[in-house]
Amino acid sequence: MQVKKYITGLLLFLSIIISSLFFQSCESNDSTLTNNTPASNVPVLQQPENNSTVSTLSPSFNWSGVNSASSYTLQVSESAAFSVLILDVQGITSTLYSPAPNVLNDSSTYYWRVKGVNATDSTDWSSVYGFAVSLESINPTNKVLVELYTNTSCIPCVEANQYLDVINNNTGTTINDLNVIILRVHTTLYAGDPFYLYNQEDNNARMSVYPGTPTSNPRGYLLGAFMSNFSSSAWTNKLNEKLSVTRSFAVNLINTYDPVSRSGNISVKIKQVSGETLSDLVYNVALSESEISYSAPNGETLFENTLRDLITPPSGQTLNISAGQTNSYDHNYNIPAEINHDHAYITVFAQRTNFVSGVKEVMAVERVKIR
C-alpha cells in the first residue's frame, strides 16, 4: 500500500514536469542591436558637417555608403562650383578619408562632395557641404568618451567589445558613431592579460578611477558615468542621449609627429565654455593603439582602441580653468617600436576627480590620429 502511494506521488511529480512540455510560457524578448543605415543612391555626407568649423588641418571626411558602389571619389574645393580642386581622390574603398596635414590651409573655407563608383557606372555627386578651417577655433562638440574595462580572458567582455567594435567601424549603431571615442582599459580580472601587463601603472591608474573595475568586467563608463551592465539596446540609447548634447568644455588638438624618430608633440587647448568653476579637474593625454592582432583566451583576435600609455601623469594633469577661459598645454611623446604608429591615436579628455552623484564626469574629449 505504501509503495503504491509512493509510486503515485512519483508519477504525479513526473506528470507535472512533463506537462511543462505543453506549458506555453510568455516571456520578453528585445530587439537586437542591428541598426542599418538606410540605402541611398548617392552618398550622404556626414562629417565635416555643413557650415561647420574644424580646428585641424587633417579633418576626417566621412559619408554614408552606397550599396552599389565599390569605391568612392572625394573632391574638395575652395569654390562651391568646384572650379579648382584642392583634392580629387579616387578609388577610396571605405567611407572615411583623412587628407595629409599639408593639403588644407588654416583660416580657409572649403567645399566637399562624394560620389560612388563601381566597375561600370557611378552615382550622382552628393550634395555639397561647406566647412571652415580655423586652428584657433575651439568649439564644443557632442563627442563622448566610452571607457571599457575589459580583459582578454573575460568571456562576457566579448559581447561588449564586439558592440564597441561595430560602433568603431561607423556602422550607424548610434546617431553618430564618429563622435563616439573609445578607450579600452585592460584589467587584472584574470592574470596574464598582455595589454594590462604592457603598462600596469597606467592601467592600474585608470582602474583606480572607478571602483569595481578590477574585479567586474566588462564595465563601461560613458563620460565618467557607469553605463550599467552591458546591454546593447540600453547602451545605444545612453550613447544617443549623450551624443545629442553639446559638452560645456571644448578640446582642440594639433599634433605633429616625426615617423623617423617616432616622436611628436601634441598641442592641447582646453576651453571651458560655460558652467561653474570646478576645483577637481584634471586632463589626461592617452595613447591608444588599434588593429592589434592577438589570439586571446576569450577568442578575440583583434583589439581596437587599446590604452597603451598615459602621456600625462597616471592620475592626470591638474586643470585650473573657469568659464570663458582657454588653457594651452604641450606634451612631447615617443611611440615605442612595438606600437604600430599607423594605428595609434592620442585621446585627450578633461575629467573631474571627485564623484558627484556617482559620476566622475568627463567634461570633453577629442582624439587625433598620430599619422
Partner 1 sequence: MIKFTFIVTAIVLYSNLSFGQINLNVDASVSNLLRYGNGYEYSGNIRNAKEYFENLTDARLNVNGVIFGIRYEVSDPIEYGLNFVGIRKRYIEYNHEVGISLRAGDYWETISRGLSLNVFEDRPLGYDTGIDGVRVTYNKTFGKKNPFRLKAQLLGGDIEYSDYLDPDRIERYKVRGAYAEISPLKPITLGLNYIYSTGELPDQDVLTKVTSDVPEVNLSYTTQDFEFYISYAHKSSIISPNSIYTNSLTGLGDGIYSSLSYSFGNVGLTLDYKNYRFDITLPDNRSNTRPTRMLPYQNPPTAIKEHTSVLISRNPHVVDFNDEVGGQIDVAYVPSDKLSFNFNGSIASRHYQYTDTDTTANISYQRTERSGSFLPDLDDPFSPFWEFYLEGEYYASEKIYTKLAFARQSSTLYNQLNPLSSEKLFTSTIPVEFKYSIDEDYTIKFTGETQWVHNSIRISEDKNFTNQYLALSLQRSPNVTLTFSSEFTSDDEEPSGKNSWFLGEATYQINQSNTVGVSYGTERGGLKCTNGICRYVNPFSGFRLSVATQF
Cell 552591458 maps to which residue? 230
Under the binding rule (CB under 8 A), the answer on residue 176 touching partner 1 is: no
For partner 1, the binding residue among 80, 234, 302, 323 (CB under 8 A) is 234
Alpha helices by DSSP H, the chain: 2-19, 156-168, 194-198, 200-209, 232-243
According to the binding rule CB under 8 A, does residue 21 interact with partner 1? yes
For partner 1, the closer of residues 215 and 256 by Cβ is: 215
Query: Does residue 36 interact with partner 1 by CB under 8 A?
Result: yes
- Nearer Cβ to partner 1 (48/224): 224
**Residue-wise burial string across 78-104, b where 16 or more C-beta atoms lie within 10 A, e elsewhere:** eeeebeeebbebeebeebebebeeeeb
Q: Which of 43, 59, 214, 220 binds partner 1 (CB under 8 A)?
A: 214
Q: Which is nearer to partner 1, 30 or 121 (CB)?
A: 30
Q: What does residue 320 show for φ and ψ, rounded to 5 degrees?
A: -105, 115
Q: Which of 1, 4, 25, 67 binds partner 1 (CB under 8 A)?
A: 25
State residue 156 phi and psi, 5-degree precision: -65, -20
The answer to whether residue 302 forms part of the interface with partner 1 (CB under 8 A) is no
Whole-angstrom distance, CA of residue 81 vs CA of residue 85: 10
Closest CA to 217 of 128, 317, 150: 150
Task: Give the type of residue at 183.
Answer: L
**Which one of 97-105, 109-117, 124-132, 155-163 is the stretch in contact with partner 1 (CB under 8 A)?**
155-163
Q: Is 27 in the site for partner 1 (CB under 8 A)?
A: yes
Answer for which of 54, 74, 183, 189 binds partner 1 (CB under 8 A) is 189
Question: Which of 110/349 has CB closer to partner 1?
Answer: 349
Cell 594651452, located at residue: 328
Cα 308 to Cα 249, 286, 287, 315, distances in angstroms: 25, 8, 6, 15
Binding-site member from 216, 267, 327, 353 for partner 1 (CB under 8 A): 216
Report if residue 299 touches partner 1, rule: CB under 8 A: yes
Per-position DSSP letters for 333-356, written without gaps between them: EE--TTS-GGGEEEEEEEEESS-B
Binding segment toward partner 1, per CB under 8 A, in 41-49, 98-106, 122-130, 182-190: 182-190
C-alpha cell read off for 29: 524578448
- Amino acid code (one letter) for 148: L
Site stretch for partner 1 (CB under 8 A), options 65-73, 229-237, 255-263, 314-322: 229-237
Question: Could you say whether residue 88 binds partner 1 (CB under 8 A)?
Answer: no
| Other beta carbons less than 10 A from residue 321's beta carbon | 18
Interface residue with partner 1 among 47, 95, 187, 306 (CB under 8 A) is 187
- Closest separation between CB of residue 12 and partner 1, Å? 6
Please name the residues in contact with 118: beta carbons below 8 A apart, sequence gap of 6 or more. 68, 69, 70, 71
Q: Which residues bind partner 1 (CB under 8 A)?
A: 2, 5-6, 9-10, 12-13, 16-17, 20-21, 23, 25-30, 32-36, 152-153, 155-156, 158-159, 162-163, 165-166, 169, 171, 173, 187-192, 204, 207-208, 212, 214-216, 225-226, 228-234, 237-238, 241, 296-300, 355, 357-359
